[in-house]
Structure formats: C-alpha cells, structure tokens
Structure 1
Amino acid sequence: MTKRRQSRFLVGVSLKMYFTHARTIQWCAEVAEIARAHPATQGASAAADLFVIPSFPSIPQAHEILDDVASIGAQDLAEADFGAYTGEVSGAELAEIGCRVALVGHAERRRLFGETDDAVAAKTTAALRNGLTPIICIGEAEAGEPADAASECIRQLESAIAPARAAGVTGRVIAAYEPYWAIGAAEPASDQHIRGVCDALRAYLAEWNDFPDSAVIYGGSAGPGLLTRIADSVDGIFLGRFAHDPAAVAAILDEVSALTGALTGPSTPA
C-alpha cells in the first residue's frame, strides 16, 4: 500500500448534462451553504478539497457561488488554444473564467464522440499548458483481475502524459479511475477490486517527479459510504448522479471528517 501523499481528500462532482442551468445554480448555492458550514471544508482541521464540474454555460456563475469553497472545472476542453474551431472551448478561455481543473478522456467521450488516446493526450497537454489540472479518466472495458485493470490504466496514463512530458510541460495530474463497466451501474466495483487497482496506480504516480502532487481518485457509481471503505487506497472520490442531492455531498463530507485522523502530509488543493 502506498503512503498517502495528500493531506486532504479530493471530493469531486461532475454534473454532466443532467441539470438545467437554473437547477445547476440552485444546486451550487445549496452545496456552497453546506461547505461553508462543514468542518471538512472549513478551519484548520479542513480535510477535504472540493471541486465541481458543471456544464459550460454554468461555469462563470458556479465559480462566483462556490469560489471560496470549491474549485470549478470543465467537462472537456479543446486540443488547441485558439483558432477556427467551431463549438470548441479552449483551456486558455477556461482558465480565464476561473477554471482550475478539466476533465479529460471520460469513457462517454470515447464511446459517444470517438475520442482516441491521441485526442486524450492532446487535451491533457492543453490543460497543463494553460495551468489547469487535468483529471484524466482511465479504466478497463470489462471486469477482470485488478492487476490486469491496473496495467491497462497505467498504459492509458502513459499515453495521456507522453506528449506533455516530451515537451517539458508539467503540473499536477489527477487520475480518475472509473472502470467502464461500472459507470452508471447500480453498484460500484467491489472494494477489493478498487483497492487493488488504486494501490497500484498510486504507487505508479509516486514515481512521477515531473508531475508533483499527482493523485488518484475513484469514480464509477461512487456514492456515500464508499470512501470510508477504500480510504487507505485513494486520494479522493469522484461523484456523479449520487451527488445530485446536495445532502449526499454533505454525507461525503461527514465521511471525510471521520477520516481526518488518518491523514498525513502537506495540503495541496486541486
């Protein structure tokens, strides 16, 4: 098991395209109220770094509402920074409007929009080039042995960061382990499977001296209760539909508070 390098747990939420803009803003306001009052995100004993990834139109207002309690991110970004790319949003513009993280290579982007490993690598480089922390989604297509899953995830990570590394573009990377077969499922992968894969990923990232403070979080049908069971193997948790009720976010923060005593090391925000 790899020693924890982060002093705080990362707690992330992607809203995908489930909400209208009005509902997104209401959700952000409710989560902001929770986070401003919760010991996991306030005071000297704060043990959680919260990040929220709404749809593009909601980013500026979400940033205004959550600025003091959460980092805001984007669900995608363009490979290029500027140019004639109709419908695209660049990392340069996202950074300008307050984003600090960007989701890269989600399984739905690969499946629905044909994103390849090369596209994921180009977007990872674009994020790092613009001072954004890429949240690189990795995972295996079918359920199998943890060792095989970890090997495939490491291959995906190597592919994603290779161009940035070759160009000398560095920064923090967050690896979001989301086994493809668990996304949208009624239950996440088993605790044993998650721990086996994430232990291997954290050991691998610990060797990345050129991408300091990189972290591993788990997503894929993750909800309240899971972090407590896998806390010693991950640096955080990535929530989807289970966080649509702000009360679920509060429940996750309660878990983080309960785990505070096991944390060591310096704080590194998302």
Structure 2
Amino acid sequence: MTAGVPPLPATLIGTSTKSYLGAEAARAWGPTVLGRLQASGVDPGSTYICPAFALIPLLRDGFGAGGGLVGAQDVSVHPPGPFTGEVSAPLLAELGVRMVMAGHPERRRLFGESDDTVLAKVRATAREGMAPVVVVGEAVEGESAVAAVSAQIDAVIGDTDCPGGLVVAYEPAWAIGRDRPAPAEHVVDVVAALRSLLAPRGDSVRVLYGGSAQPGTFTAIAEAAQGDAQAVPDGVFLGRAGVDPDSFADVATEVWNIRRE
C-alpha cells in the first residue's frame, strides 16, 4: 500500500465513534455527512471516521465511496498468523483503511497499553503505508503539557518512518469526556510546541486537537492564536461530538471555513 499513497490533506477533521455506533446508524452516518458536506462546500477528502472494526467495510462502501477517509481505532502488534481475535495491519490496509489510532488514554487506562505497545502499533501501521494517528497529552491538569507530549513523541514515535503520513492529536487526558475542551489559550501553546518538535519530519505531519472538542472549539482556538498560524491545529479529532452526523458536519464546516480564511 505504501507506493502511491496520496499525502494527507492539509485540513483534517475526524472522529472516533468508539463503540457507540451500531450497523444501522453507521449506514445512515455516511450519506448524512456527505450530503451536509456537499451542501457546505467542504471537501469530504478532508474528513475521516475511525469506527469499530466490524463497521469498516460498511463505512468504506458508503462514506469512503463518497470521498471520505476511513480509519481504524486499533491494530494488532502481531503480523497475520495464529493470533485469535487480533486484527493485523496488513488486513486493515487491504480493507482500504487510511489511518489507525494509537495511544489513546482510554486504551492505556482500560487495557493497560504501555509506550512499548503503542510504539509497536505505530510501526505496524506505518509499515503498511497507513498513517498513525498518535494521541498525546498530559494526564493531569496543571502539569507541563509540553514536557509530556515531548516525552510521548520520543517514546511512541521516535525515528519511525511514516511514508503514509503522521497525525498527532493533542488530547489532554484530563479533558476527555468532560463537557468542555481544554482552554483555547492552553491549546495554542501546545500546538505551537508540537509543530516545533515535529518540524524535522517536514510537511507530512498533521497536528489536531481532541479532548471534548465540539462545535465552537476550533473557532476559539483560532481566535486565541491571534494570527499565529503555527499555533492553529490542522483540524480537530472528535469523540462523542462526532457520533452524531449533523454535529460532525457542523464542526467540519466550521473548521473548513476558518482554515480557508
């Protein structure tokens, strides 16, 4: 899959539907979002969804066929073989998956994933030409976010070659699942630091903000950046706010319009 993989779009709006979305809701999600994006003039190729494994073919044949990108929420560290219940990176690539999540705080907290596990998933993803979506962020509000994300990037990405591109989503663990995102002034500082840390990788990296992102979040971040383009993320990564197709389309339109200003 590595050969001929197109670069990631400059603007990127995505969602992980976690395990909220069922099959019927997933069938409706794609057409609803695509219709809304078309009406708003948003390029669907700048949007993606990471559904549960079982929904990937369904979203690929619906949302993906209309130009949207389809990702995965997880991947096995093992190659194809005698690993019951695992979903390998080559299989995901064969299914047309464009990006794969790694390092989400829920995976760390609920399933005990370590930095070494996340690094193995990042490398497995990158080998197949898919883009790792690496989630980084400090665990506790008030601790140094820059120090935390710097250490995480070293530990879970390191010198991994990512020919299919790399997405780094800043999601402070303390902001996930709350009713509001991290303060915009805080986000712009961390985004600017991430761009500096990732600069050696050139233009193949996209930096997003997640962590209870919702309608209005990107607008607040852009305003807090006060014209500093380096402090504005390339888009947002939604959780609960992206499960509803209308909410996702609203955020995608918001981000798209601001990024085009």
TM-score range, shorter chain: 0.7 to 0.9
Query: Shift of the alpha carbon at 1:7?
Result: 7.2
Residue of structure 1 in register with 2:27 after alignment: 25
Give the TM-score, by structure 1 length.
0.85
Percent same amino acid among aligned pairs?
38
> How many Å separate the matches in 1 of 2:260 and 2:75?
37
Relative to structure 1, the CA distance from residue 59 to residue 261 in structure 2 (aligned partners, 3 Å threshold; closer, same or farther) is: closer
Paired residues for 1:1-150 under 5 Å: 8-41=10-43, 49-67=46-64, 68-144=66-142, 148-150=144-146
- Decide whether the 8 Å contact of 1:202 with 1:234 is kept in 2: no
> How many Å separate the matches in 2 of 1:261 and 1:102?
27
> How many Å separate the matches in 2 of 1:8 and 1:123?
24
Give the TM-score, by structure 2 length.
0.88
> How many Å separate the matches in 1 of 2:109 and 2:184?
26
Residue of structure 2 in register with 1:254 after alignment: 253
Look up the equivalent residue of 1:142 and give its one-letter code: V
How many residues are treated as equivalent by the alignment?
Answer: 245
Residue of structure 2 in register with 1:175 after alignment: 168
Paired residues for 1:150-229 under 5 Å: 150-162=146-158, 164-165=160-161, 170-209=163-202, 212-229=203-220
What value does the CA root-mean-square deviation take over the aligned residues?
1.8
> How many Å separate the matches in 1 of 2:109 and 2:81?
26
SS in structure 1 at match of 2:46 = strand
SS in structure 1 at match of 2:213 = coil
SS in structure 1 at match of 2:98 = strand
Query: Shift of the alpha carbon at 1:41?
Result: 1.4
- Gaps of at least 5 residues in structure 2 are 1-7, 223-228
Query: Shift of the alpha carbon at 1:170?
Result: 4.3
Look up the equivalent residue of 1:49 and give its one-letter code: S
- Decide whether the 8 Å contact of 1:40 with 1:256 is kept in 2: no
Query: Shift of the alpha carbon at 1:256?
Result: 2.8
Look up the equivalent residue of 1:101 and give its one-letter code: M
Residue of structure 1 in register with 2:242 after alignment: 243
Q: Which has the higher contact order (CA 8 A, sep 6+)?
A: 1
1:215-259 per-residue CA deviation (whole Å, 9 max, x = no partner) reads 110001000111112234211100111122222122213313431
